[in-house]
Structure 1
Amino acid sequence: MDMPAACEIDRLPEDLLEHVIALTSPGDAFRATAVSRAFHAAAESDTVWSRFLPNDLPRFAKNEIPRRPPSTTKGLFRRLADEPVLLRHKYMRMQLDKATGAKCFTLSSSALQPPAYSTLVPVGSDFDYSKRGKRFLQAIRIPYYLPGPDIRAKVHRNMLSRNTTYGAYMVFKLLDDRSYGLDLPLHEASFGMAGRESIRKVCLYGYAEDGGGAAGEPPRKLILPSWYPTRCDAIPPMYDDVHFPRKKTHGWMEVELGEFHNEEGDGVVSISLIHTSDARPTVIVWGIELRTI
Structure 2
Amino acid sequence: MDVTTGAVLPEECIATIISFTSPRDACRASLVSPIFRSAAGSDLVWERLLPQDYQQIISESVSPGPSSSASLNILSKKDLYFHLCDTPILIGNGNRSFAIDKLSGKKCYMLGARELSIINIGRRITSFWEWISSAEMPVLAQSRFSEVARLGLGHWLRIRDTPEGYDGRLPSMREDMWMEIEIGEFFTDQVDSVVEMCLMDTACDPCKSGLVVHGIELRPK
**TM-score using structure 2 length:** 0.78
CA distance in 2, matches of 1:250, 1:78: 17
Q: Does 1:145 align with 2:154?
A: yes
Q: Does 1:292 align with 2:198?
A: no
RMSD of aligned alpha carbons: 2.7
Superposition pairs for residues 219-230 of structure 1, below 5 Å?
A: none
- Runs of 4+ in structure 1 off by over 4 angstroms are 248-252
Gaps of 5+ in 1: 1-5, 154-189, 191-198, 203-240
Structure with more of its chain in helix, by fraction: 2
Residues 108-140 of structure 1: CA deviation (Å, up to 9, x unaligned): 111111015421123425044424xxxx24321
Partner of 2:18: 21
Paired amino acid for 1:286: H
Gaps of 5+ in 2: 121-127
Superposition pairs for residues 35-184 of structure 1, below 5 Å?
A: 35-57=32-54, 58=57, 59-61=60-62, 63=64, 64-66=68-70, 69-115=73-119, 117-122=128-133, 123-131=136-144, 136-148=145-157, 150-153=158-161
Structure with more of its chain in strand, by fraction: 1
Residues 55-104 of structure 1: CA deviation (Å, up to 9, x unaligned): 22322226522357334222222222221111021111111111111111
CA pair 29-115 structure 1, distance change in 2 beyond 3 A: same
C-alpha contact (below 8 Å) 1:104/1:290 kept by paired residues: yes
Aligned partner of residue 257 in structure 1, secondary structure = coil
CA distance in 2, matches of 1:105, 1:115: 22
Aligned partner of residue 42 in structure 1, secondary structure = helix
What is the CA-CA distance between 1:265 and the residue it aligns to? Answer: 1.9
Aligned partner of residue 47 in structure 2, secondary structure = helix
CA pair 146-100 structure 1, distance change in 2 beyond 3 A: same
CA distance in 1, matches of 2:176, 2:192: 38
Number of residue pairs aligned between Structure 1 and Structure 2? 201
C-alpha contact (below 8 Å) 1:80/1:95 kept by paired residues: yes
Percent identity for Structure 1 against Structure 2: 31
C-alpha contact (below 8 Å) 2:171/2:179 kept by paired residues: yes
Paired amino acid for 2:131: L
C-alpha contact (below 8 Å) 1:121/1:140 kept by paired residues: yes
CA distance in 2, matches of 1:97, 1:243: 23
1:273 equivalent among 181, 199, 219: 199
